[in-house]
Homo-oligomer: A and B are copies of this chain.
Amino acid sequence: MTAVTESGFRERAVAARAAGKELAAAETDKKNNYLNALADSLEARTDQIVTANGRDIAAAESDGLGDHIIDRLKLDADRIGKIADDVRHVASLDDPVREQIECYTRPNGLEIERVRVPLGVIGVIYESRPNVTIDIAALCLKAGNTVVLRGGREAINSNKMLAGIARDVLESSGLPADAIQFIDTTDRAIVDEMLKARGLIDLLIPRGGEALINRVREDARVPAITGGIGVCHTYVDDAADLEKAVAVVVNAKTQRPSVCNALDTLLVHERVAPTYLPPIARQLTDRGVELRCDGRSLAILEPALGGSQLRAAGDDDYGQEFLALVASVKVVDSMDDAFDHIDRFGSGHSEAIVTENEDTSERFLSTVDAAAVFSNASTYFHDGGEFGLGAEVAVSTDRLHARGPLGLREITTYKWVVRGDGQVRN
């Protein structure tokens, strides 16, 4: 296997940059052939991956890590097959590199073209799931970028094996193995180095919990895109269709409560709260959701549902990302009241309204400031795949460069290409 030697961050970032020129110039077919060969190799080397992963699982068990963490760590033939399929899917996507964004001729005859080019070296800091190693590497490579990966300590053996395979296949595909760099030490000082690596990293993407995201926001001296923290509201308007409101709220909260686009707070217009809240709440509590209610919603729900999954909301229950089967509930006087609440407590990730009134809907969509706003649809749709981008590296709640899902285009930049015939400027 291509050596992934023990060494520091700096020399890996330098090696990644040196490999960048060749990768930026690589033809689409060559990159796609690489990705398909990588998928095949992952499947062919399933046993090796499972063995390496077993060491991580054993360490996690002896460290007494919880079952859900161990489940996230675990790789088996099925999961490896799924990773391989995702890589094949990336191969099938359009190559963003060399895409012409615009092209026009100026009155002086200059032809001005804006063309997409790779960003350069992308640094990624991520936590436990080992599939991220391959997912991110595949997307970065497809967009002509090289990548420096720093995964979580728990998955070190799995990640090392996966990155090693990805490098092996680069070499056998005639691409530079150094395009994928994996930091194979778990030294936390490396994270600091990455945060401060001006000139070595062109874009840093953290994928993990709030502590990691906040650390990058506070300390990064390299360009970074952060996101993934979603305090998401769904506002049920007084002109909402009840059936749609139930479906949208239940889906946003319960379909996958552990993700950032899941509903955290349900806001209901006071005019429909007495009739709409009980059926919505019942569907939620039937699915195991605990509801943390303001006084008005509690007064409606306690008589209707009984109290076992209801409690009074505390100060922390608004503005909190639950990532679990918990939601806070609040009755609002009006949509403007909902706006104030979202302004104060939202994280700019995903916000939704349910209403049959088109004017109200449009006012919500234009007024609420978030990466994605939804009318009569579940916030759980906030995802690169669901938006038709094919895949995503992360979801941005930043305002610069890209907002919402980061697909292949969003991990590129562009340059201006000007073709003349000897023109000069007065």
* Bound CA–CA A32/B188 (angstroms): 53
A-B contact list, 30 entries, CB within 8 Å: A21-B367, A98-B366, A106-B388, A112-B388, A119-B399, A120-B399, A223-B399, A225-B400, A241-B422, A243-B422, A244-B422, A248-B422, A250-B424, A361-B419, A370-B415, A372-B416, A375-B418, A376-B419, A377-B419, A377-B423, A377-B424, A378-B423, A378-B425, A380-B425, A381-B420, A381-B423, A387-B416, A387-B418, A400-B401, A400-B413
Q: Does A6 contact B (CB under 8 A)?
A: no
Using A374-B418, A376-B421 as known contacts, list a sample of 20 further A-B pairs with CB atoms less than 8 Å apart, ordered by residue number in A: A25-B366, A110-B377, A117-B369, A119-B400, A120-B399, A202-B400, A244-B421, A247-B424, A248-B422, A365-B419, A372-B415, A372-B416, A372-B418, A374-B419, A375-B418, A375-B419, A381-B425, A386-B425, A401-B401, A404-B416
Q: Does A217 contact B (CB under 8 A)?
A: yes
CB distance from A276 to the nearest CB of B (A): 14
In the complex formed, the residue of B with least CB distance to A422 is B244
In the complex formed, the residue of B with least CB distance to A221 is B218
Q: Which residues of B contact A36 (CB under 8 A)?
A: none
CB distance from A21 to the nearest CB of B (A): 8
* Bound CA–CA A417/B365 (angstroms): 7
CB distance from A377 to the nearest CB of B (A): 3
Residue with the greatest number of chain B CB neighbours at <10 A, chosen from A241, A247, A403: A403
* Bound CA–CA A382/B425 (angstroms): 10
Are A399 and B380 touching (Cβ within 8 A)? no
Chain copies in complex? 2
CB distance from A382 to the nearest CB of B (A): 8
CB distance from A389 to the nearest CB of B (A): 10
Q: Which residues of B contact A260 (CB under 8 A)?
A: none
Q: Does A329 contact B (CB under 8 A)?
A: no
Q: Which residues of B contact A399 (CB under 8 A)?
A: 119-120, 202-203, 223, 413
Q: Which residues of B contact A251 (CB under 8 A)?
A: 424-425
Are A418 and B377 touching (Cβ within 8 A)? yes
Q: Which residues of B contact A376 (CB under 8 A)?
A: 419-423
A contacts, CB < 8 Å to B: 21, 25, 98, 104, 106, 110, 112, 117, 119-120, 198, 202-203, 217-218, 221, 223, 225, 241, 243-244, 247-248, 250-251, 255, 354, 361, 365-367, 369-378, 380-382, 386-388, 398-401, 403-404, 413-426
Q: Which residues of B contact A423 (CB under 8 A)?
A: 248, 376-378, 381
Q: Which residues of B contact A217 (CB under 8 A)?
A: 198
* Bound CA–CA A378/B244 (angstroms): 60
* Bound CA–CA A404/B423 (angstroms): 19
Are A381 and B418 touching (Cβ within 8 A)? yes
